[in-house]
A = this chain, B = another copy of it.
């Protein structure tokens, strides 16, 4: 059940709704959108009917949820959202007017490798730095990331380059730690249905990049986003990264249609990960072009100064020549689709 507040509702109005719900044993999650505030209710929905929430000051509407997601739906929010990432002075938009290149090493290995990769990324037009400090690995014997030491490296490279940092968090208990370093929290494909983690990143006040589960339907992906939104955080960017099929020449099958389908169902921005979907370096540039052309709001790409020694996913990291082709695509194609490169849209 969701309480939609009127555009002129005051903070006190919202607080009163929350208080009444909590007094009845329920939980209330406040989501402040651009134009209005929404309060999501969890608990004894039948019982809430007797609270007369609709009659309270500032309440515009009380809606029973029939669709499986609501806060992230376009049905009640026709205008596409823009999510801003980074501190004042370096705020990078991801949304309908721009095209954002996010790039960096799959895994943070050393300060030098991370800085080199960040420089490569920046030269190609990237405005956000990606890099993993906590790596979810299928095998327990694989490199699991540097942990907090990796986060510190990312923060240092941010200081050096000015690039805000996107990095993955894999456990609810790490969210506060990761959020203390990162500008945007990434939830990976294996954790898309880790609901405790979704709720934790929804509560911490950082934008979230939510990767699609490798076997999740688009509807399930949006329900996962709803878990984040319900905690009051609507700064969510969806990331399509390929689904699992029978085809064996690529690591996953990039579901390029997911971009327009998600855009038709949700107001959230959608980016594409061409590196992990194909798992092959030679596919990254063509798939990046396809992502721009299909209408994605950005891409997130692996780069590495020396892919052959990479501890994780080296075979898909871009090298210099590819980066020039990528940079050209990121400059030329978005304007044809009515977007400007995000590099020109960073605000201060």
Pairwise interchain contact A257-B253, C-beta atoms closer than 8 A? yes
| Given A141-B42, A226-B139, A282-B264 contact (CB < 8 Å) | yes
Closest 3 CB pairs between A and B? A215-B215, A293-B293, A171-B196
CA distance A230 to B140 in the complex (A): 8
Kindly specify which of A12-20, A53-61, A112-120, A239-247 makes contact with the partner chain.
A239-247
Q: Are B170 and A196 touching (Cβ within 8 A)? A: yes
Q: Which of B69, B243, B256 contacts A245 (CB 8 A)?
A: B243
The reply to whether A289 and B293 form a contact with Cβ atoms under 8 Å apart is yes
Chain A positions 268 through 293: 1 when the CB is less than 8 Å from some CB of chain B, otherwise 0: 00000000011000110011011111
Nearest-Cβ distance from residue A146 to partner chain B, whole angstroms: 12
Chain B residues whose C-beta falls within 8 Å of the C-beta of A137 in the assembled complex: 195
Q: Is the beta-carbon distance between A249 and B261 smaller than 8 angstroms? A: yes
The reply to whether B255 and A283 form a contact with Cβ atoms under 8 Å apart is: no
Please measure, in the bound complex, the distance between the C-alpha atom of A254 and the C-alpha atom of B42, giving whole angstroms: 33
6 CB contacts below 8 A, A to B, read A140-B223, A194-B194, A254-B255, A256-B287, A257-B278, A290-B291
Known: A42-B141, A138-B223. A261 touches B255 (CB 8 A): no
CB-CB nearest in chain B for A192: B190
Contact bitstring A192-207, B, C-beta under 8 A = 1, else 0: 0111110000000000
* Residue in B closest to A246 when the chains form the complex, CB atoms: B244
Residue A332, interface by CB 8 Å: yes
Report the Cα distance A153→B282, complex, angstroms. Answer: 44
Is A159's CB within 8 Å of the partner chain B?
no
In the bound assembly, the distance between CA atoms of A277 and B261 in angstroms comes to 13
Query: This chain: how many copies in the complex?
Result: 4
- Report if A8 contacts B (CB, 8 A): no
The answer to whether A219 has its CB under 8 Å from any CB of chain B is yes
On chain B, the residues within 8 Å of A277 by CB distance are 257
Instruction: Bin the interface of chain A by size.
Output: 35 or more
* A141, A194, A197, A295: residue with the most chain B Cβ atoms closer than 10 Å: A141
Q: Does A172 contact B (CB under 8 A)?
A: yes
Residues of B within 8 A of A213 (CB): 215
Mark interface residues in A328-344 (1 if CB within 8 Å of B CB, else 0): 00001100110000000
Whether the pair B283, A257 counts as a contact (CB closer than 8 A) is yes
Task: Flag if B194 contacts A190 (CB, 8 Å).
Answer: yes
**Distance between A97 CB and nearest chain B CB, rounded to angstroms:** 17
CA distance A191 to B283 in the complex (A): 29
Q: Are B249 and A246 in contact (CB under 8 A)?
A: no
> Which of B224, B244, B294 is in CB contact (< 8 Å) with A289?
B294
- Give the distance to chain B from A287, nearest Cβ to Cβ, in Å: 6
Q: Is A215 touching B196 in the complex (CB atoms < 8 A)? A: no
The answer to whether A10 has its CB under 8 Å from any CB of chain B is no
Q: In the complex, which residues of chain B have a beta carbon less than 8 angstroms from the beta carbon of A139?
A: 68-69, 223, 226
Q: How far is the CA of A292 from the CA of B287 in the complex (A)?
A: 11
Could you tell me the distance between the alpha carbons of A59 and B178 in the complex, rounded to whole angstroms? 39
Please determine whether B260 and A283 come into contact, CB atoms closer than 8 angstroms.
yes
**Cα distance A220–B140 in the bound complex, in angstroms:** 11
Q: List chain B residues, Cβ under 8 A from A289.
A: 293-295, 337
| A132 interface contact, C-beta 8 A | no
